[in-house]
């Protein structure tokens, strides 16, 4: 009976299935407007290799995760830049990346068209974070399990990928209307890039003098 209850609870929290078209569907992880939504694609997890993906920049030129090989990469995923929380999230990380070394790449990914993304970046003076669109192939959304069924948007999430291509941090925001944990994400970036270690070493040298 105890095992049965545990199984029922797990099913209520998250349910996965394969659709007729072969695309994996997951429900119970995220809500929108208080209602559960279905995410399309395969979920990825901390400790696994980050799937390569193909998106486009403002000129519709292809950009791949492999283009940033050897760097620490943070993926800030938003449903749409034209909404308040997504706008604030993108501007917050745009400010943060300016304080990080070139060995760190921060990418914002949404399903907004590149024209809309370019307009947003110009209006909001977003110049340091790289803003990319998954609207052409939906390749990123499906490979990371973030494409919202029947909406065509990406669910809000944060990923940190280290220089070896391994996912070291993931936050799938449980309610797409809420902000991610900014401090935890930045801490994860610094840890993956060994920035905290370098700072500590410098402090210890100063103290010894």
- Render each residue's pLDDT in the chain as its tens digit; 209 residues: 444 333 333 333 456 677 646 789 999 999 999 999 999 999 999 999 999 999 999 999 999 999 999 999 999 999 999 999 999 999 999 999 999 999 999 999 999 999 999 999 999 999 999 999 999 999 999 999 999 999 999 999 999 999 999 999 999 999 999 999 999 999 999 999 998 544 433 444 344 44
- Is 8 known to be catalytic? no
Structure tokens at 8: 């029922």
Asked: is 43-208 a CATH 2.40.50.140 domain? The reply is no
Q: What pTM does this model have?
A: 0.86
Q: What single DSSP character describes residue 19? A: -
**CA 169/CA 171 separation, integer angstroms:** 7
Which residues lie below 8 Å from residue 133, measured CB to CB, with a gap of 6+?
Answer: 55, 56, 57, 109, 110, 111, 112, 113, 114, 117
pLDDT recorded at residue 204: 43
Count of CB atoms situated within 10 Å of the CB of 191: 16
- CA 94 to centroid of chain Cα atoms: 14
Q: What is the pLDDT of residue 18?
A: 75
The DSSP output letter for 10 is: H
* Catalytic entry in 29, 37, 39, 86: 86
Contact 60, 137 (CB under 8 A): no
Contact 118, 196 (CB under 8 A): no
At 78, is the secondary structure helix, strand, or coil? coil
Domain ranges, ordered by start, for the chain: 43-208
């Amino acid at each position: 009976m105890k095992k049965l209850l545990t199984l029922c609870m797990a099913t209520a929290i998250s349910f996965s299935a394969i659709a007729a078209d072969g695309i994996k569907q997951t429900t119970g992880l995220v809500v929108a407007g208080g209602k559960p939504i279905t995410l399309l694609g395969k979920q990825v997890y901390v400790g696994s290799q980050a799937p390569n993906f193909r998106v486009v920049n403002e000129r519709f030129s292809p950009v791949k995760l492999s283009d940033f090989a050897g760097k620490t990469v943070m993926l800030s995923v938003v449903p749409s830049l034209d909404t308040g929380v997504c706008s604030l999230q993108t501007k917050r990380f745009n400010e943060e990346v300016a304080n990080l070394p070139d060995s760190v790449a921060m990418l914002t990914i949404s399903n907004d068209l590149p024209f809309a993304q370019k307009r947003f970046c110009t209006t909001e003076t977003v110049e340091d974070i790289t803003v990319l669109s998954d609207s052409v192939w939906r390749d990123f959304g499906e490979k990371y399990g973030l494409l919202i069924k029947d909406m065509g948007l990406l669910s809000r999430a944060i990923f940190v990928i280290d220089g070896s291509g391994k996912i070291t941090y993931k936050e799938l925001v449980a309610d797409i209307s809420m902000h991610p944990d900014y401090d935890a994400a930045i801490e994860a970036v610094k840890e993956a890039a060994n920035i905290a270690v370098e700072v500590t070493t410098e402090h210890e040298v100063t103290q010894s003098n």
